[in-house]
Amino acid sequence: MKMTMRNLGGALLGLALAACGPTELTEETQALPLQEQGLLEAGCTALGPVPVSHACGHLISGPYASATASASSTDPSMQSINSTHTAYTVTLPGSGSSYTGTVKFVPSRTSSAWAFFVSANITVVLKDASGNTVTPAFSPQSISQTGCGLSQVVVYNNLTKDAVYKLTLGPSTTSTVQVIPERVEDSRVYYFQDADSDGYGNTNVYTLTACTPPAGYVLDDTDCNDANAAVHTGC
């Protein structure tokens, strides 16, 4: 079985994701078109299974952190949830069924889409430094993955590096919610066209995305004859 350079890169990416280490932007990367730097591609209406599974893993295994949300969006001592690959337990002020609070988020990377995975189906509102509401890239996405305690993810495209955003959570019926901020590009993977629907993809026809892959694309790239479902490896 051959190992293409893309496969090798994917394997290394998998190791990097497992370790959750940062990926630095080089000058070469910064010169790429914006969609190749980490912005969502046109037509993306939902994240694919890889970023969802990644976030679920952090909710189950950590690392963990905590923050207390502010009742006022102008609180000068407002706490932040800036660390990616981290499951934050956010304590919300309030009582009864109206726990609501705000935390800060400051993107550390440029030209990127960011996802906020949340453990409850509550309203999530992101505002910029001027108080303007940031429109999500698409409607909040429900999460129903077995064994995962996350309920939804809200994705924002092209947030400004080092800008101060404020994330308001609630109202909630509970005083704590779990929030996992993630840079969407960190969970992009290659999908390969499976023209003969045998479960094996063509290594020469592929797409790189964290979004739901196109119909007929799979993670496996070992099909040496994608025109014959009876032949895939060992050609």
| Predicted confidence (pLDDT) per residue in 26-44, tens digit | 333 333 444 445 689 889 9
According to the per-residue pLDDT averaged within each range, which of 18-27, 37-46, 205-214 is highest?
205-214
β-bridge mates for residue 211, sequence order: 47
Give me the mean pLDDT over the 201-229 stretch.
93
The pTM of the full predicted model, rounded to 2 decimals, is 0.84
Quick one: tokens of 138? Answer: 């698409």
Check: CATH 2.60.120 for 49-186? Answer: yes
Residue ranges of the domains in the chain? 49-186, 188-235
How far apart (Å, rounded) are the C-alpha atoms in residues 109 and 5? 27
Helix, coil or strand: residue 19: helix
Whether 169 and 103 have beta carbons less than 8 Å apart is answered as yes
Q: Tens digit of pLDDT for each residue in 153-165? A: 999 999 999 999 9
Condensed to tens digits (0 to 9), the pLDDT of residues 64-95 reads: 999 999 999 999 999 999 999 999 999 999 99
Helices (H) and strands (E) counted in the chain, each on its own, are 4, 12
